[in-house]
């Protein structure tokens, strides 16, 4: 395998006894799209698919089609109807760099709007430790009350959660420092790290992370740090099936991979908000899903 290319994702199913498959199931479509977007080379993907029973000629065409579609989405997304003026993404240039104390890799970047997938933000041991530290703290998740600025339980969000205060333990400190190193946004501008667990059927319907200025409750919510600038969602386990983070306006889906993260920005220096960052957590079909979410603000967050 080419050592300079991203490591290819494991195949979604064992090799079937028959050969010459010429149809992509939904699972294989997701696998192929994920690896194309991660920058894996065609030869590596072809080898895995042929070993799993696909016709070699069909594989060649399938990879070409998925690659061209991915490039089209990346090229055209800036043309979506919006008055938002995107600025350069806050992440460092390049693909591999040091985030505080750990080497990480940006495996996918979209500009206008600004979205990136970061590999290796946490180690497997750190992911396991964060989950372990939630013991006895999880409660049914709530959503923001747009009228009052408070919160309440809703079927829009089917999960359980808790949060760690800033710097509450060594793992949280490392996560906060890495995010600050990557984004240039100070640790004290981050909200408490929110931990979320979704069981089978758990989901979060499409929503925005920013506070809509038209909502009466937003004035209350922005007193303690200003508007939200960006979101970092860290995947603490690899979900067997379902649980993707999807961006409906962008035709983009990010599959949970343990230790990786998806990052997106939705506020520019002029105070404009990017509605294209609408996103959802799709239902978990098998297994469960653990994530840690960090919301970043304009000013120091005084609620933590």
Q: Within 13 A of 148's CA, how many CA atoms are on the CB side?
A: 5
What distances in angstroms separate CA 233 from CA 27, 59, 92, 150, 259, one per listed residue? 23, 33, 18, 22, 10
Rounded to two decimals, the pTM is 0.76
Placement of tokens 């991979």 in the chain: 257
Q: Domains (ranges, CATH) in the chain?
A: 1-79 (no CATH), 96-297 (2.60.120.620)
- Helix ranges restricted to H, the chain: 26-37, 42-51, 56-76, 124-133, 170-183, 218-221
CA–CA distance, 302 with 304 (Å, rounded to integer): 6
CA distances from 62 to 25, 65, 75 (A): 12, 5, 20
User: For residue 98, how many other CB atoms are within 10 A of its CB?
Assistant: 12
**Nearest by Cα to 283 from 160, 166, 180, 157:** 157
pLDDT per residue, tens digit, the chain (304 aa), is 334 456 677 777 655 555 677 777 777 877 888 788 767 888 889 999 888 888 887 888 788 777 766 665 555 554 455 688 999 999 998 889 999 999 999 998 999 999 999 999 999 999 999 999 999 999 999 988 888 888 878 878 899 999 999 999 999 999 999 999 999 999 999 999 999 999 999 999 999 999 999 899 999 999 999 999 999 999 999 999 999 999 988 889 999 999 999 999 999 999 999 999 999 999 999 999 999 999 999 999 997 5
Judge contact between 243 and 198, C-beta under 8 A: yes
What is the token pair recorded at 267? 């506020």
Cα separation of 46 and 57, whole Å?
10
Give yes or no for a contact between 63 and 32, defined as CB atoms under 8 angstroms apart: yes
């Amino acid at each position: 395998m080419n050592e300079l290319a991203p490591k290819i994702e494991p195949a979604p199913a064992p090799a079937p006894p028959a050969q010459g498959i010429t149809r992509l199931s939904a699972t294989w479509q997701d696998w192929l799209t994920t690896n194309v977007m991660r920058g894996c080379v065609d030869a590596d993907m072809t080898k895995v698919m042929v070993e799993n029973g696909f016709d070699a000629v069909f594989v060649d065409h399938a990879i070409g089609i998925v690659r061209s579609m991915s490039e089209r989405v990346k090229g055209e997304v800036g043309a979506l109807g919006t008055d938002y003026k995107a600025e350069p993404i806050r992440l460092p240039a390049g693909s591999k760099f040091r985030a505080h104390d750990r080497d990480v890799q940006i495996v996918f970047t979209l500009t206008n709007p600004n979205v990136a997938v970061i590999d290796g933000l946490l180690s497997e041991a750190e992911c396991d430790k964060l989950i372990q530290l939630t013991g006895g703290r999880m409660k049914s998740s709530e959503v923001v009350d747009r009228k009052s600025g408070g919160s309440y339980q809703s079927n829009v969000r089917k999960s359980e959660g808790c949060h760690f205060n800033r710097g509450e333990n060594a793992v949280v400190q490392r996560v906060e420092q890495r995010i600050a190193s990557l984004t240039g946004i100070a640790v004290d501008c981050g909200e408490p790290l929110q931990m979320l667990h979704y069981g089978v059927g758990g989901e979060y319907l499409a929503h925005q992370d920013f506070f809509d200025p038209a909502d009466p409750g937003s004035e209350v919510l922005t007193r303690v740090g200003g508007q939200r600038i960006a979101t970092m969602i860290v995947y603490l386990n690899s979900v067997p099936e379902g649980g993707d983070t999807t961006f409906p306006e962008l035709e983009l889906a990010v599959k949970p991979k343990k230790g990786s993260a998806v990052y997106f920005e939705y506020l520019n220096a002029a105070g404009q908000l990017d509605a294209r960052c609408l996103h959802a957590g799709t239902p978990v079909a098998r297994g469960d899903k653990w994530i840690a979410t960090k919301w970043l603000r304009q000013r120091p967050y005084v609620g933590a």
